Amino acid sequence: MSHHLLEAIQLCHRYADGTEALRGLDFCIHHGESVALVGANGAGKSTLLQHLNGTLLPTSGAVKVGEVTVCKETLRDIRRTVGMVFQDPDDQLFMSTVFEDVAFGPRNLGLPAADVALRVQQALARVEIGHLAHKPPFRLSGGEKRRAAIATVLSMSPDVLVLDEPSAGLDPRSRRQLIGLLKEFRHTKLIATHDLDLVLDLCDRTLVMHQGKLMADGPTREIFADAALLEACHLEKPFSMQGCPVCGRT
């Protein structure tokens, strides 16, 4: 494995209707980094995420995981290396029980039943929902579904976690628990989110997208302190960096 795990090289994607969703993206995410991907709706974030595990393939340019280029021939290995957690957990939970959902990936790898069971046990323990193993996913709370969706990815033992809006729809307590959980992970992480305060808690580095282009890549607090950049990309400062409306202090 190379010293970096995720790299985009002049990455472009044009949809069939002619929409240019990605326009010449270049970045490299190194081993163990926790990186945020931010931008207004329509900036191209979801399109980019879909390129990282081969759900979409580039119109031109390339995505590399380690030294392996993402293409049709490498999808099996790429999807074992890059774990994708979708914005809506219901897109990831479709079996009759949480155990069966978390076991789905390892079983498709052809692992023995004992190894599958061990992976499921370890993944559920990691997200602290072992007691929910035999519960139907539709009976879980929003926060429990989010943890179960993460467990389905962890059971595949990925090197990289890609999360799309992980805090969407969570109540404050569930959101706080999720942040604590993600802080414990030592995976390389790319987190696409509108929750900029979550970014401050989890990511030292931030990528900013606007209209399919990468507008900035740098230390998170420097990015969020750049008022002109945020205005140009239709973003606002995290609440914790905004001044008090009464006294003006941050």
Strand ranges for the chain from DSSP E: 4-14, 20-30, 34-38, 60-65, 68-69, 82-85, 160-164, 188-192, 205-210, 213-219
Give domain status of residue 250, yes or no. Answer: no
Q: How far apart are the first and last CA of the chain?
A: 43
Give domain status of residue 246, yes or no. Answer: no
Taking residues 160-168, what's their average pLDDT?
A: 93
How many domains does one find in the chain?
Answer: 1
- Length of the chain in residues, anyone? 250
Give domain status of residue 242, yes or no. Answer: no
**What CATH code is carried by the domain that includes residue 208?**
3.40.50.300
Give domain status of residue 249, yes or no. Answer: no
Give domain status of residue 227, yes or no. Answer: yes
Give domain status of residue 248, yes or no. Answer: no
248 pLDDT above the threshold of 70: no
Give domain status of residue 131, yes or no. Answer: yes
pLDDT bracket for residue 4 (50, 70, 90): low
Taking residues 217-243, what's their average pLDDT?
A: 94
- Edge to edge, the sheet with strand 205-210 lists 82-85, 160-164, 188-192, 34-38, 205-210, 213-219
pLDDT at 242: 84
pLDDT at 247: 62
Give domain status of residue 151, yes or no. Answer: yes
Which residue in 123, 68, 70 sits closest to 92, CA to CA?
A: 123
Say what angle helices 98-108 and 113-126 make with each other, to 10 degrees: 130
2 pLDDT above the threshold of 60: no
- Domain that residue 28 falls in: 4-237
Taking residues 174-184, what's their average pLDDT?
A: 91
Each residue's pLDDT tens digit, 93-127: 999 999 999 999 999 989 999 999 999 999 999 99
